[in-house]
Amino acid sequence: MRPRSRPHLPQGLLLVLVASVLAELFLLRTATRTLIHIPGIGDLEAPIRVVAEAGRFAYYLAVVSVTVTLAILGFRHVRSAVPRRVIAGVATLAFLLIATVGRFEGVPSRTAGWLTLAVLVAVTSTAWRGLGSIPVGLFVLGSVAAGWSSLGQVAGSGLTGAQVDMLVLAAESLLVLAGATAPLLLGRPPTGSALVAGTGAAVLVAAAFAGGASTFSIMVLWNLGVPGWLPGIAFALAFGGIVTAVWSALASGDRVTAIGIVLLLGGGVGLISTYQTGLALAAILLLAEPGTMGQEQTVEVGGTADYALAGSPLS
């Protein structure tokens, strides 16, 4: 048995991806949709236009970055000697093909939606690694529920209005649970400072909801794909869990986990677009990578055990 190197993603690629996703999330999905509701904001038309253009640029940059990231991860998994990774790679490349064909209207949008959900489930099943995968599993189940509620609203689907509402509520509940359990992705207890940061974030979200529940619900719908029916305290706990996990991951040098969580947040649920679904898929693949830098893991190669550095795919 000898150490062997694993293919790595360029460090700059994931940094550009996460930065562009955050910029698109705050500038395009949040700021431009919120500012227009402020009285008298029409006098600031030029600055708003600048914010909107910056958000659109971030969106296009994020689309390109996530496409390249998925292509690299897909080919890397296909070339693996581990069957479950090969399956994940094939599913990832299939998603890119579906998204490309769908972009040119070569496949009905409803068909593309069901195929996309199948890809998310397939990749998640191959990436499952016990307790630490629970948040991802909850997120994907939420995506399935939200996607089902959306794709099922056609003639002859058999879904009643009450059933659609139940699926939407289930999707929102699963998304909130995924956020609240996000620290499980760390595989270790979060740091003290991370717990403090997460508690502060939860308090701020609870206060924001109390001060403007309708506005908060609209922002949840725009950004996450769910209507915000649950009490504000539920979203406060979810956001607190996310901040705790990201803060702790960054503090321990586990950049992959931090980036994966941000990409899940940017993706949301509900089949909003193939771009956002792509973010979720990239997050699932990254979170399946070993997160502790420099730790050794055993990898099966040709039926024998081999060793590889289980570090970040960032080089």
pLDDT at 39 over 70: no
Residue 204 CB partners (closer than 8 Å, separation 6+): none
Alpha carbons 289 and 304: distance in angstroms, whole number: 21
Alpha carbons 230 and 251: distance in angstroms, whole number: 31
Alpha carbons 161 and 158: distance in angstroms, whole number: 10
Burial of 12 (0-12, 13-18, 19+ CB in 10 A): exposed
64-73, 163-172, 238-247, 285-294: segment of lowest average pLDDT: 285-294
Mean pLDDT of 227-246: 93
Mean pLDDT of 248-269: 91
State residue 310's pLDDT score. 29
Nearest to 274 by CA among 30, 140, 102, 26: 102
Report yes or no: 267 and 107 within 8 Å, Cβ to Cβ: no
State residue 154's pLDDT score. 67
Selected residue with higher pLDDT from 160 and 40: 160
Report yes or no: 146 and 168 within 8 Å, Cβ to Cβ: yes
Domain definitions of the chain by residue range: 3-178+256-309
Mean pLDDT of 245-260: 93
Nearest to 185 by CA among 123, 117, 137: 137
Mean pLDDT of 265-275: 82
Nearest to 277 by CA among 182, 168, 164, 142: 142
